[in-house]
Every structure is written in C-alpha cells, then in structure tokens.
Amino acid sequence: MEVYRRLDPERMPRHVAIIMDGNGRWAGKRGLKRFFGHKNGAEAVQFIVETSSRIGLPWLTLYAFSLENNLKRPRAEVNFLMMLLRSYLTNNVQRMNDNNVRIRYVGRTTDLPKEVCERMQWAEESTAKNTGTTLTLALNYGGRSEIVDAVRRVAADVAAGKVRPEDITEADIDRNLYTSYMADPDLLIRTSGEMRISNFLLWQIAYTEIMVTDRLWPDYRGVHLLEAIEEYQRRERRFGGLNTGTESDDVKSLPDRELVL
C-alpha cells in the first residue's frame, strides 16, 4: 500500500485513540434506521484493528459506548448496542487471536448487563496471551467519571495513611486511572467532523495530537488510519515547549513595544 511505504517507521505513534462518530448520520443519509449505522460501524472496527496489528501499533483505544449514551439514548438503541457488542466479541475473538490482538476495557463496565460483562470477560481471557496490539474498548466510559474514580482511590489511600495530601502528585492520579497500563495517546482521531472531544480521555490527551475527519465512522478504513498517521508524522510535537532556535529567538529579538499579545 502506497501510503504505508511513505510512513517513517521511526516516528510511528505508540497509541492511537479514536472517537468513532457518525453511525447515525451514515444511516440517515441512506434513509436507513440508526441500527444499520451501528452495525456497519462495528464492521469498520475490525478493519482498523487488523490494520493496527499489521503496522505493529502497541495500543488502540476506541470510544465505543459513553456514560451519556447509556443515560440519554433510547433504551431500544442501547439494548441493540449491547447485543451488537456481544455479537462483535463472539464473532471476532478468533480473528483477534489470528492477528495477535489482545482486548481490554475501560469504563464503569460493572454497570453493564451481566450477560455482556460475561462475554467481555470471556473475550479478554481468550486473548490475554496475545502480545501484539492491545485493543481497548471504552465502554460506559466518561473522562470526568474516570478522574472522579481515580481521586476516590487516592482519597482512600490518604484516609488509610498511605500518603499525605501534600505529597500527592500527578503520578498518583495517573496510576489510579483506568488506563494506567498503557501509554497516553499520541494521536486522537475523531470521525464525522465534530470539533469536540466528548468527555474522552480528558487527563490522558493533555499533549495528544488531535485530528478530525469529515468521514463518517462506518466508511473509515485502514488506509484512512494510515493517512492519519502520515499527517501525525508531519507534525512537530512540543509538549508545551518551543522550536529550538526559531520561535523563542524570534520573540526575544522583538523590541518591547512590538510584544503585543
């Protein structure tokens, strides 16, 4: 594939996170019910997972089902999404094993239906020995609730005398997040053109490169992921710093009267 040959193997991201958006609009544009959009969106997942595996991406995190989805969407749609999740796991575990993919989850997953939790556990155990891409599904997930849960764990340590409040650091919060086992995302992709992050990985994306595409999720394929990585490689990540010898020097060379902010 031409775009893959253009990628710099030395600058590949370790972790790509995706807000999979646009299933409903994809269906609406075709005069179909939203259920068909979700079904085709689930099929798109496997294209992205397999491409991630083939390029050796260590972590892929997909925003599959938010807390807001659970609370605000019609119950019939939520039930269909739960059925679709069970079906996806049942039908794709063998493909995950064939591609050396391990599956894990983040979110308040214990609040999901029992039969869904059992299928999730089965899929996680069935792929636990795989050493390639770790596919993490964010399910019943919210970034703010994740931070609340992490703070509660830190507060429990304070109450138990394990740490003093004045000694709490970012690392204490970080290791109590759902995502403590993975690197922070290098690249966050959102499909469907919406310019927001929708309560996804709020702590983790502090220095993540963000890319938005108008393409609707059911139409997203492996080549589009590769194109996003190609764009990512064209960017310079500064982590709050400046280019050496460029912007910092330019600012210092200006007279005080020209420093208008």
Catalytic residues: 21, 69
Which residue reads 């080549």 in tokens? 223
Which structure tokens are listed for 61? 């995190």
Nearest CA to 35 among 67, 77, 90? Answer: 77
The whole-angstrom separation of Cα 39 and Cα 35 is 6
Residue 66 forms beta bridges with which residues? 141
The whole-angstrom separation of Cα 45 and Cα 95 is 12
The whole-angstrom separation of Cα 89 and Cα 123 is 6
Nearest CA to 201 among 76, 106, 91, 85? Answer: 106
DSSP 182: S
